[in-house]
Amino acid sequence: MWVVQAYEIDAYPNKNTSSFDAVLRTDYRDRIRQEYPAVVAVGDSAIRQLDEEVFSQAAGAKTVIFSAPGSGSAYWYLMIRNQIIASGALPRAVLIFFRGTTLTVPEYRVRGSYFVRLDEIGGSGDQDVFDLAISGQQNWLQMMMARFIPLYAKRAEIYQTLTTVTRDFLPNRLAGCDSACVNRAFEETFDDEKINAELQEDYMRNLDDILYQPDNLKFSSRVGGSLLPWMIRDLRSNGIIPVFIRIKYRSHAEGQTDDPKLTAYLADLESYVKKAGGLFIDLADEEKLTDDMFEDNYHIGEKFSLEVSVVIAEALKEEIEFIIK
């Protein structure tokens, strides 16, 4: 009964069985307003070592970089919608760094601990994203339970409420650290570069298996049910050029070639992006990113941060100059 009262469930069975919490993190959009960059970059931990100042100088354009460890296309789209576009300080280009088939697998990295990060930048107005990336992946039993059992239906909101209270209350009371302060502390403390590198690489490899399942390598059958068309639509309608950048792995630098099915997928992706008015760049072919620069198969080593920032910025410079001229 307390769930019904606390979350104002006024219809039974439930129609919208779950959603993001109404509270929306806004410090990202505030920073964009303050700095008014020409370029905004988003991605997961693969771009965590990019140095903004060095990248901006090498690219010839003020760039703000948002690296969100453990993020996927649902997070990137919400970042575009709720932070970049909502800031009002619209950049000329948004760089989306991705791996494999992430752009057309909306269910990638949206559950469990990943949901907490996703919920930070998703609000009550993002039911469409929730339905596509999360609710759309439920089986019939889960959907029935969500409709008829309020405690199950509101599990995400309950979890988020308990998490927020637990992590924000004591720091605020004891150290005067507000929610934005706590957010920054968690990102610094629990960024996956703090985790044992070997265990993390094994974990990432297992997690990424979903991206290379046969069905997910069929671009034409996946794109329509993905967030990729939404990304391009929202950016282009606001006069922003989307630039999709495939990251390079250490295995690429060591000479490993892509599976033919992935090669075909990427060719279809590139064609789709270009026809829709975006740009596509594949860093897997960038010879200046050498195997010794990687600390594991997925991440650049910290000591190569500045060098890699220059290499990637210069690889994108021609496209960025064309966009902002």
Mean pLDDT by 10 residues, the chain (325 residues): 48 60 90 98 96 98 95 97 98 97 95 85 93 70 55 58 66 76 66 46 58 95 97 98 97 95 98 98 96 94 97 97 88
What pLDDT digit, counting tens, does each position of 232-243 carry? 999 999 999 999
> What does each C-alpha distance from 316 to 24, 73, 206, 321 come to in angstroms?
32, 21, 30, 9
pLDDT for 3 equals: 45
Residues 65, 324 contacting (CB under 8 angstroms): no
Q: Copy the structure tokens of residue 296.
A: 């594991």
Cα atoms in the 13 Å half-sphere on the side-chain side of 203: 10
Instruction: Decide: 39 and 7 in contact? Cβ < 8 Å.
Output: no
Residue 178 pLDDT? 79
Q: What phi, psi does 93 have (nearest 5°)? A: -145, 150
What is the C-alpha to C-alpha distance for residues 282 and 267, in angstroms, rounded to an integer? 11
Where residue 225 falls (left for φ over 0; alpha for ψ -120 to 50; beta otherwise) is alpha
pLDDT (0 to 100) of residue 177: 84
Q: What is the residue type of 44?
A: D
Q: What is the CATH number of domain 2-324?
A: 3.40.50.1110
User: Could you report the per-residue pLDDT of 223-263, keeping only the tens digit for each?
Assistant: 999 999 999 999 999 999 999 999 999 999 999 999 999 99
The full length of the chain comes to 325
Who's near 303: CB < 8 A, 6+ residues apart?
none
CA angle 107, 112, 116 (to 5 degrees): 95
215-247 in b/e form (b: 16+ CB < 10 A) is: ebbbbeebbeebbbebbbebbeeeebbbbbbbb
